[in-house]
Amino acid sequence: MLCEKCGVNNATTHIRTIINGVVHEKHLCSHCAATESKYETKDNNLAQILGNMFGNASQNSQSAVTRCGCCGSTYEDIAESGRCGCPECYTTFYNQFLPQLKRIHGSTDYTGKKINVTEKKTLESIRELDVTLKKLIDEEKYEQAAIVRDEIKKLKEGAL
């Protein structure tokens, strides 16, 4: 596929924008993508992308005044760098972060890792066998301990 801007080089950058529900796609070569004013590819890094997700902090007049009590960062600083200055920033700027978290994750509630029933039973079995193994070693029943050790090894390999 050729670049839509110059029509000479192969398109290596594909930009999809959705504005008011209308999808626009651009297929550009690396040179044209670098010259595109909205998409400076040489400066795009994770911090900048995350900062852009927080929007333009200068539009929020409260963020220019509010500073983190611990590190002194403003919401604008966090939006520009894409990084919080310290753990206290999460508390200080909670109201500004909340809409962004909802937009990114769809929810602000932490549900945690869900473990399935078979994994749970396997972990319980491994714990029980560990206790049995230690008991057999203390009683110097090494042949039985080796059998239990092998069972634990098989369960751990199956769990991975």
For the stretch 55-108, pLDDT in tens is 554 444 443 458 888 888 888 888 888 888 888 888 888 888 888 878 777 777
Q: CA quadruple 114, 119, 125, 129: dihedral positive or negative?
A: negative
Instruction: Take residue 15 and report the two structure tokens written for it.
Output: 């930009």
Q: Nearest to residue 11, comparing CAs of 19, 45, 25?
A: 25
pLDDT tens per residue, range 32-70: 877 775 544 444 555 666 666 655 544 444 434 588 888
Q: What is the pLDDT of residue 65?
A: 57
Does pTM top 0.85 for this prediction? no
- pLDDT higher than 60, residue 112: yes
Which uninterrupted H or E stretch holds 26?
A: strand 22-28
Q: Nearest to residue 150, comparing CAs of 139, 136, 138?
A: 136
Q: Kindly list the domain boundaries of the chain, sorted by start residue.
A: 1-44, 45-111, 117-159
Looking at CATH, the fold of the domain delimited by 1-44 is given as Wheat Germ Agglutinin (Isolectin 2); domain 1 (3.30.60)
Q: At 94, phi and psi to the nearest 5?
A: -55, -45
